[in-house]
Structure 1
Amino acid sequence: MPFSSLTDPADLARAYAALEAVRNEVKLTIPEQEHDEQRRKIAYLVAGFAPMALDEDDLKQNILLHIRQDALA
């Protein structure tokens, strides 16, 4: 479970909100059959970036930047 390392309820809420925000941002660019896999990948990115994020928006922007850079590679 990607969010198992987050114990603070506020951090968990921020992580889930960022997960949904990022998913909504990239959903239309991903084929429907890949949505579940993409959600899992985003969840792990959220868990990894969460400790360094200033707030939910910063977390979202860092993940989107990572996804976009990864797509270019």
Structure 2
Amino acid sequence: MPFSSLTDPADLARAYAALEAVWSEVKSTIPEQEHDKERRRIAYLVAGFAPIALDEEDLKQNVLLHIRQDALA
């Protein structure tokens, strides 16, 4: 479970909101057969960046930046 390390309810809510926000931005760029795998990968990225994020928007932007950098590599 990607968010199992998050114990604070506020952090958990922020992580779920950021996951939905990131997913809504990238979903259309991902082949449908890869949706489940990619959404899970994004959830793990959100969980990893959550402890260092200033707020939900910062969390979203950090994950999107990582995804975009990954796509260029």
Query: Do the structures match in fold with TM over 0.5?
Result: yes
Letter in 1 for 2:36: D
State the shift of 1:39 in Å: 0.5
Per-residue CA deviation, residues 35-65 of structure 1 (Å, 9 max, x unaligned), is 1001100000000000000000000000000
Give the Cα separation in 1 of the matches to 2:17 and 2:38: 16
Give the Cα separation in 1 of the matches to 2:53 and 2:25: 18
1:23 aligned to 2:18? no
Determine which structure has the larger helix proportion and give its number.
Answer: 1
| Percent identity for Structure 1 against Structure 2 | 88
Runs of 4+ in 1 over 4 A off after TM superposition: none
Alignment of 1:1-73 (within 5 A): 1-73=1-73
State the shift of 1:2 in Å: 0.8
Structure 1 length-normalised TM: 0.98
Give the Cα separation in 2 of the matches to 1:17 and 1:37: 19
Give the Cα separation in 1 of the matches to 2:38 and 2:27: 9
Letter in 2 for 1:70: D
Structure 2 length-normalised TM: 0.98
**RMSD value, Cα:** 0.4
